[in-house]
Each structure stands twice: as C-alpha cells, then as structure tokens.
Structure 1
Amino acid sequence: MKKGITFWVMPKREFYPRERLLKKEMLFGYDPESANSTLFEARSMDEVAFLYYQWDYYAVGYYYAADLIVNNALDATLRGEDRQRINVEKYHILIDRIDIVVFPVIFLYRQYLETRLKTMIIKDNIINKLESGEAIDINLLLSKKDTNHKLDVLWKKCKEIIKKNYNEQGIDTNDEIELNVMEEYIEEYKNLDGSSYTFRYPVNTNGELHHLDIPQINLKKLSEIMKNIFDYLEFYKDCQNGSIDYYMYDRIDYYMYDR
C-alpha cells in the first residue's frame, strides 16, 4: 500500500467534461416569470409533471417507473452501453446497466405492491361506509395497523376483501388458483424484502451486506410476472371503483377522497 497520498487521485478535467455547479437553482417548483428559475423549468407544458397526491397515481407510478427502467436497461445492455470492466481477484467482470438498475427496479415493484394493497384496503373502507351511510373522513381511511410495510399482512387483509366479493358474485376454480398464486408471489417478495429496506441500501442496520446468497435475478422474467400481477390487482381496483361510483355520485364527501 502506497503511503503519503492525502488527496484524491483526480483525472484532468478535460477528460471528464461536465456542466459545472456554479449557481444554485430551484430543484422543485416553477416560476413562469423566469425561464431559468428551476432545474425543471418548463419551456412547454409537455415538460411539466403535475403532482396529484392520490393513492392510485402513486401505485401505478411506481409500477410504470420500474417497467420503464427495465425496458431501458435491457436495450442498453443489448447494445453494450455503459458497460464497465472491474477486476475482482484474478477475474475481469463486466458490469452492464441491467446490473446497476436491478436495485431500484425491485424496490419500485415492491413499492407498487405495498401501495396498491393499501389502496385496496382504503377503497374497501369507503365502500363499507357508503353501504352503511356513514360519513367519509379522508383522514381515517387507513387505520394505523394498516400503515405497516409488511406485504404478507397487507395481502392477508386484501385477500379477504377479494374473497368477500367472490362470495357475493360467485367463485370458480381459476379464481381460487389465482388467489393462491398471488399469495405465493407475496410470500416470495416478503422473503426477499420483508419491510421495504433491503433494496434501499447495500447493508442492513448492522452493516451486513444483503443477499449474499442471491447472486442473480432475471429482470426480464420479473417484469413479465409483475405485468400479470399488475393486471390482476388493477382489475380489482377497477371493480372497487365501479362499486364506489354505483353507490355514491351525489355525496360530496366522496369527491373529497382522491381516487
């Protein structure tokens, strides 16, 4: 080990051209009076993202973001973009974009599952209140026990919600199979990332590395399965929305709830 180096070994700036951070600008927000007032200044309305703080948009947004990242990474990996070579002991290892984005992808897919399951619980609470004629308090649609991050606990409640609908509409063999398969997927995700912390950081709170026993994940296959899960859960979300609309078009407190 060389001694005496107390500074970073930095390359010449011309080899790494970049925009210098010489002026602080707003990261978020938009001032139409100044075209340069924000990092996300809008030269046209097509550049503007409106923030609708609604459960459905959060859930679907996480899913779409994960899907976009997967598709982009698969294309980039095929073309060899961003490929890096690292040396580990005697071996040369190639790192592709797909190897880098795997962590946020799994986190985003998991975040979709958690948010969608919580949304199903909220919508069921709304339907129950509409059926009973109770007032809807938008601040009490999710109980404290349902604000946890445990997918298996949330799924257990959502499974009962789905089965309750089946009892009213009738259930067939394929419905039962789907419920069981979905439960297996939830269980697998729970075992991989029980409380939504594993894919945020490479180590746990004790400083120990995650997933030393999981060397590979097939992102393309994961994306395909998540598409089926997405279609399954979104179908029941749409069913719940239909029930809500059926019960209450004329109650003002319903329109205060973000659908």
Structure 2
Amino acid sequence: MRGLHGKARPLHLLDGHAPLAPGGARRERRRGPEDRSRGRRGAPRALDRVLHRHRVRIHRTAERLAKTVRAMHHTIKGVRPDGAAYDADDPDWLRWNYATVVWGLATAHELYHPQPLRGKKIDKYYGEFVRVGQALGGTDLPTTKAETLDCLESYLPRLALTHGASMATGANLPMPQAAIDWAIRDTMPKWAMELIQHKSPNIIERTARRSLVWSIINGLEFTTGPTPEFKQAQERVADGIDPDLAPHTWPTYVPGTDPMLSRDEVEKSFASV
C-alpha cells in the first residue's frame, strides 16, 4: 500500500508539466478523473518492475525490461494541439519524471513506514535509485533528497495545470477517491500545494488525518503481507549479495544506442519481460 501511495503521488506533479506528462498530448481530450486515471498508470508500473529487478541478482532481466521501457519512450514524440512539443527522450523530460517518482516513493516511505529511513539513510536510497533512472536513459539526475527537491522546484516556471489535470484532484473528486487524493496533496512541497490550490487544515486535524492514513496503510500491509515481488527479492538475497556481482548492477546503457522499434513491436516485447 505504501508503494501504491508513493507511485500515485508523483502523478500529481507529472500532470503539472503538460508537455512532459506521460502521453499528455494523447489524453487532453479526456475530461473525467476516471479517464485520466486509466491513462496514467503505465509509467509507475513499468518503473516498479525495473526497481524490484534492479536491486537484486537478476541484472540481465532488469536490463532487458529497461530496454523495453526506453523503446516505448522512443515512440512518444510529437506536437500537441496547442503547439507544445513533447519528446519522451528529452533529458529534461526524463529528469523531471525521474525526480517526481523517486521523491514520491521516498516521501511515502518517510511518512507511512513504521520504521522509516532518515537522514543519511534516506539519502542513500535516493543515491541508489539513480541506477533505475540511468537504466531508463536519465542523465544528470539528483542523488539526494535535497537535490531532488531543488530539481523539482526548478521546473516551477514551466508548470501549469490543464483542465483535465485540475479535474482529477481536489474538490472535483468523489469519495473515497477524495480521501486518497487529500493524503497525496497533503505531502506536496509548499510550491506544489500552491499550484494545485491546496490548503492544509489546522495542525490538530492534519495530524489526526495523517494518523488515520498511517493506520489504514499499515493495517492493510499487516493483513495482506509484503507483495510477491518483495518476497521474491528477499529470497534471492537471503544468503547475502555476491560482492563480485554487486558492482555490475550499474546500468550499461549509453543514450542513443537503442535500435528504433515501432509501437507494435514495443508492445509485443512487453510480453517477454
């Protein structure tokens, strides 16, 4: 549940950068929050699969999956009806998307994990996550929590909400989506809260709401247990990590070296990973 909450959070920030939002130009005619929800699930799911594979021994599988994700990025290029160009291979696009995802996952962990990482330990997580971003083609990526927050805020002059994005958050949502949406909006940086016109309640009510969210998330986690992928990852490293293998988990991709595939070819390749 913390993972799902963490992956939902960056989507709010992603929607603020319309030309860089995943498939933004193809979704602008979708007006309802349900339509938008269906249209923006793919990227976090794919990255999650890379993440769980990239931190364990099956490095070749991670590389193959990352190659498939990059191939999909190579097909997402064009010009929106309003004249804004979009290109999923643009370094700015990749850096922005990377920063929103790592920040979302780490922030959900800090707020809702019963024993969250702090200080240098959470910075180590940010630093290790860079491998995932590089495997997907990212360059010049932030490596600490502070760098990531600075990176996100640096995009503020280029951010704006479209009609579709504004309809997918805040008072426009019915329950129970509105409750989940509040938990996401509540953890945004101050400038992001201002962008989406979110106002926090008084400290007592805010603390009570966060405690309720914490109880729900950890209660469900306790009831259902870890995800199958997490269990499998634990089993693979139960006897420790081979020190000779660990250095090779750094991605080997060099930007610009991927073969160009059609959209259909990319879709078919997902079946093999």
- Alignment TM class, shorter chain as reference: under 0.3
The structure that is helix-richer by fraction is 2
Q: TM-score if structure 1 supplies the norm length? A: 0.23
**Highest relative contact order (Cα 8 Å, sep 6+), 1 or 2?**
2
Q: TM-score if structure 2 supplies the norm length? A: 0.22
Larger Rg, first or second structure (1 or 2): 1
